[in-house]
């Protein structure tokens, strides 16, 4: 039973190496697992797709670099869709790091679709406030210009063409908040949807996703992208495979490795119990 | 009065915000909006407090040479560098600077101009050729020769985009380090799952089965093995998971309402620094 004890007390560094290989190999050599679009992703896609050309949509960047590997791909996929539909994007952020992440995404997608800053999208910067996000969103409901006298480039909002016909939250046809905690999507749901009846959708990390399922059922959210899978599904819908799609292969293999270890540890547990005489 | 005045302010502002939710009165709405603006200003001002606290803690550590004081030096140094670059160059990925093509070394300026378009050298040459009013034959040396022959048009400038050093720090240091910290979780989860995720009882067995199905059903490999995994995972997320979440959220919301009521009516005074 020496092998049994060795395997049971496996060095954690071996587990780390296997996880590392499970992530890195599919990233280098994609395996091309199928991506099936779930109902929640399709709902968000359909809602954005139904918006008229030139409609205003709020894209809120409520996440930080720690979770950007998971949340940025889905945000990018949605912005692809918005630009394909020629929507006008108003981008606030309830997290201090959000505006820089927005800059990074728009720097890539703006030129691709020949979209111009100030005309097709605006990055408003960080809006400080309470942890719940309620005061911030409520202030935006009253007036964007009061909350944001200037954009991230220090230009007065009155001098930005996209803001000429956009005064307050209710001028937007939809809100999409991408979040990795509070303040974030929850604040937008409670104010934008519950008080002003503006459709709210969005996405978040896989860890955050479970808390939003009740809101999908109660129709307080019009679609939700959960983790890298949500990003991969949306990339498939917009026909722009990117980091979400390639990351799904890596995540798949990593999950398989973890599941393999869990099964192995439970086999050891059963063998131990059998030796002791009785399963439970 | 040191106790009563904060309690009165708390009651009035809280009551005002509750009233806004149920009243359509424009005056009340306007007053509530002002209060909300104040809360954002206070939130912004809290950053200064945070910076003050950061300095106080780290300077103390450095002066006392406490354990890990070297990290405090690095922290403060990085803070100043990032602050100075951020204030100097802004938050955009690039910053713009004009170069006068007719000043100085022609070849150097021309090449600098072309480099500004290094993602597309051909495009850079075309743009510069049109600015300098020479025909574009696609080769830098020939264009330079033509300009030298015909003379340099006066005051021809080109706006060159430079990579912002602040954005460099942000993207290649901060984002990478934050992402690394977050992704370390994958390694710990794998190791912890191996050691702790065991079906020692019926309840833990049930949890293990649910976790297995969600883990396999929420990634594309699950769909490749058997499409039913995805359906089962969706059902777990939509039915038992949502039921549990809803119970927790409603419970938390009721707790929040009762805590808020206690604060509004002055029954809970710990925010005043009292037990």
Whether B171 contacts chain A with CB within 8 A: yes
Neighbours of B199 (CB within 10 A): 19
Please, which residues have CB within 8 angstroms of residue A129's CB and are 6 or more apart in sequence?
Answer: A94, A135, A136, A139, A183, B36, B39, B40, B43
Residue B162 pairs with which residues in a beta bridge? B95
Q: What is the pLDDT of residue A280?
A: 47
Average pLDDT for chain A: 91
Residues of A with Cβ-Cβ distance to B239 under 8 angstroms:
none
By C-alpha distance, the chain B residue nearest A143 is B33
Same domain, A111 and A21: no
Shortest CB distance from B219 goes to which of A10, A146, A255? A255
Q: Is the dihedral of CA A142, A145, A151, A154 positive or negative?
A: negative
Residues B220 and A34 sit within 8 Å (Cβ to Cβ): yes
Same domain, A47 and A8: no
Q: What is the pLDDT of residue B105?
A: 63
Residue-range definition of the domain harbouring residue A269: 2-30+248-276
One DSSP character per residue, A58-111 reads EEEEE--HHHHHHHHHHHHHHHHHHHHTT-EEEEEESSTTHHHHHHHHHHHHHH
ipTM over 0.90: no
- Compute the distance between CA of residue A244 and CA of residue A251 in angstroms, rounded to an integer: 10
- Compute the distance between CA of residue A36 and CA of residue B230 in angstroms, rounded to an integer: 9
User: Which pair of structure tokens corresponds to residue B246?
Assistant: 């809803």
Test B40 with A127 for CB contact under 8 angstroms. Answer: yes
Same domain, A111 and A179: yes
Task: Give the torsion through C-alpha atoms of A207, A212, A214, A220, to 10 deg.
Answer: -170
Mutation target vs A (from B194, B222, B252; most A CBs, 10 A cutoff) = B194
- Compute the distance between CA of residue B174 and CA of residue B81 in angstroms, rounded to an integer: 13
Test B221 with A146 for CB contact under 8 angstroms. Answer: no
For A142-176, the pLDDT digits (tens) are 889 988 999 998 899 999 999 999 999 999 999 99
Instruction: State the residue for tokens 């330079």.
Output: B144
Same domain, A211 and A103: yes
Residues A35 and A65 sit within 8 Å (Cβ to Cβ): no
pLDDT averaged per 10 residues, chain B (length 275):
86 88 83 85 87 94 93 94 89 73 64 65 70 66 68 66 83 89 88 87 91 90 88 92 94 94 89 70
Whether B238 contacts chain A with CB within 8 A: yes
Whether B64 contacts chain A with CB within 8 A: no
- Compute the distance between CA of residue B48 and CA of residue B24 in angstroms, rounded to an integer: 36
Shortest CB distance from A142 goes to which of B33, B202, B221? B33
Which class for A233: exposed (0-12), middle (13-18), buried (19 or more C-beta within 10 A)? buried
Residues of A with Cβ-Cβ distance to B182 under 8 angstroms:
66-67, 69
Same domain, A80 and A203: yes
Q: Is the dihedral of CA B102, B103, B104, B110 positive or negative?
A: negative
Q: What is the pLDDT of residue A215?
A: 94
- Compute the distance between CA of residue A45 and CA of residue A167 in angstroms, rounded to an integer: 26
Shortest CB distance from B179 goes to which of A16, A68, A214? A68
Q: What is the pLDDT of residue B69?
A: 93
Same domain, A131 and A258: no
Neighbours of A180 (CB within 10 A): 21
Shortest CB distance from B223 goes to which of A34, A104, A136? A34
Shortest CB distance from A210 goes to which of B29, B216, B241? B241
Mutation target vs A (from B83, B190, B205; most A CBs, 10 A cutoff) = B190
Residues of B with Cβ-Cβ distance to A167 under 8 angstroms:
none
Same domain, A8 and A86: no
Same domain, A226 and A254: no
Q: Does residue A51 surpass a pLDDT of 80? A: yes
Whether B111 contacts chain A with CB within 8 A: no
For A65-124, the pLDDT digits (tens) are 999 989 999 999 999 999 999 999 999 999 988 998 999 899 899 999 999 999 999 999
- Give the residue among B169, B167, B181, B47 at the shortest CA–CA distance from A100: B167
Same domain, A20 and A112: no
User: Which pair of structure tokens corresponds to residue B221?
Assistant: 């490999």
Which class for B251: exposed (0-12), middle (13-18), buried (19 or more C-beta within 10 A)? exposed
- Compute the distance between CA of residue A189 and CA of residue A195 in angstroms, rounded to an integer: 9
Q: Is the dihedral of CA A187, A99, A92, A89 positive or negative?
A: negative
Test A252 with B222 for CB contact under 8 angstroms. Answer: yes
By C-alpha distance, the chain B residue nearest A262 is B194
- Give the residue among A197, A166, A164, A193 at the shortest CA–CA distance from A92: A166
User: Which pair of structure tokens corresponds to residue A185?
Assistant: 């999507």
Q: Is the peptide bond before A183 cis (omega within 30 degrees of 0)?
A: yes
Q: What is the pLDDT of residue A79?
A: 97
- Compute the distance between CA of residue A194 and CA of residue A184 in angstroms, rounded to an integer: 15
Which helix (H) or strand (E) element contains residue B96? strand B94-100
**Beta-carbon pairs below 8 A across chains A and B:** 169
Same domain, A220 and A95: yes
Test B218 with A253 for CB contact under 8 angstroms. Answer: no
CA distance readout (Å), B259 to A183, A222, B265, B268: 20, 31, 10, 8
Residues of B with Cβ-Cβ distance to A206 under 8 angstroms:
218
Neighbours of B74 (CB within 10 A): 10
Q: What pTM, to 2 d.p., does this model score?
A: 0.84
Test A143 with B44 for CB contact under 8 angstroms. Answer: no
Same domain, A90 and A26: no
Test B220 with A36 for CB contact under 8 angstroms. Answer: yes
- Compute the distance between CA of residue A157 and CA of residue B58 in angstroms, rounded to an integer: 39
Same domain, A108 and A208: yes
Q: What is the pLDDT of residue B117?
A: 64
Mean pLDDT across A117-142? 89
Test A259 with B241 for CB contact under 8 angstroms. Answer: no
Residues of A with Cβ-Cβ distance to B39 under 8 angstroms:
129-130, 135
By C-alpha distance, the chain A residue nearest B241 is A210
In angstroms, what is the C-alpha Rg of chain B?
Answer: 32
By C-alpha distance, the chain B residue nearest A267 is B198
Per DSSP, A150 falls in state B
User: Which pair of structure tokens corresponds to residue A263?
Assistant: 């099964």
Q: What is the pLDDT of residue A55?
A: 96
């Amino acid at each position: 039973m020496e092998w049994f004890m060795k395997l049971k007390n496996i060095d954690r560094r071996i587990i780390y190496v296997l996880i590392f290989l499970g992530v890195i190999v599919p990233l280098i050599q994609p395996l091309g697992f199928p991506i099936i679009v779930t109902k929640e992703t399709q709902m968000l896609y359909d809602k954005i797709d139904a918006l008229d050309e030139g409609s205003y949509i709020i894209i809120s960047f409520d996440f930080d670099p720690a979770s950007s590997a998971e949340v940025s791909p889905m945000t990018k996929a949605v912005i692809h869709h918005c630009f394909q539909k020629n929507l006008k994007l108003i981008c606030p952020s309830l997290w201090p790091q959000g505006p820089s992440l927005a800059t990074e995404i728009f720097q890539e997608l703006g030129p691709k679709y020949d979209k111009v800053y100030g005309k097709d999208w605006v990055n408003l910067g960080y809006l400080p406030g309470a942890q719940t996000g309620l005061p911030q969103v409520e202030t935006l409901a009253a007036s964007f210009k009061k909350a944001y006298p200037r954009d991230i480039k220090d230009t007065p909002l009155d001098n930005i063409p996209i803001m000429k016909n956009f005064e307050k939250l209710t001028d937007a046809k939809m809100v999409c908040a991408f979040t990795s905690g509070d303040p974030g999507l929850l604040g937008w749901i409670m104010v934008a949807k519950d008080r002003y009846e503006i459709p709210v959708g969005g996405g978040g990390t896989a860890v955050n996703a479970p808390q939003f399922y009740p809101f999908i059922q109660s129709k307080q959210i019009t679609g939700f992208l959960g983790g890298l899978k949500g990003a991969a599904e949306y990339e498939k819908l917009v026909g722009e495979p990117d980091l979400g799609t390639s990351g799904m292969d890596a995540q798949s293999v990593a999950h398989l490795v973890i599941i393999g270890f869990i099964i192995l540890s439970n086999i050891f547990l059963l063998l131990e119990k059998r030796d002791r005489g009785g399963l439970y | 009065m040191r106790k009563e005045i904060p309690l009165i302010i708390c009651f009035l502002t809280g009551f005002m915000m509750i009233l806004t939710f149920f009243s359509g009165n424009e005056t009340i709405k306007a007053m509530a909006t002002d209060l909300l603006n104040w809360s954002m200003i206070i939130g912004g001002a809290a950053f200064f407090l945070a910076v003050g606290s950061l300095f106080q803690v780290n300077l103390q550590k450095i002066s006392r040479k406490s354990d890990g004081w070297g990290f405090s030096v690095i922290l403060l140094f990085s803070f100043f560098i990032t602050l100075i670059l951020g204030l100097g160059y802004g938050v955009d990925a690039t910053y713009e600077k004009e170069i006068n093509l007719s000043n100085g070394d022609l070849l150097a300026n021309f090449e600098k101009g072309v480099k500004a378009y290094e993602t597309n050298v051909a495009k850079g040459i075309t743009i510069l050729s049109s600015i300098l009013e020479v025909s574009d034959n696609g080769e830098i040396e020939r264009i330079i020769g033509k300009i030298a022959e015909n003379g340099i048009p006066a005051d021809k400038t080109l706006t060159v985009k430079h990579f912002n050093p602040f954005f460099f720090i942000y993207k290649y240091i901060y984002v990478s380090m934050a992402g690394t910290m977050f992704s370390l979780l994958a390694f710990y989860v794998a190791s912890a799952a191996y050691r702790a995720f065991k079906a020692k009882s019926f309840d833990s067995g049930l949890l293990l089965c649910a976790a297995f199905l969600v883990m396999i059903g929420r990634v594309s490999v699950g769909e490749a093995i058997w499409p039913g995994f995805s359906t089962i995972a969706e059902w777990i997320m939509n039915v038992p998971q949502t039921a549990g979440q809803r119970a927790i959220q409603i419970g938390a919301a009721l707790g929040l309402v009762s805590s808020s009521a206690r604060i509004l009516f002055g029954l809970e005074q710990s925010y005043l620094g009292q037990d």
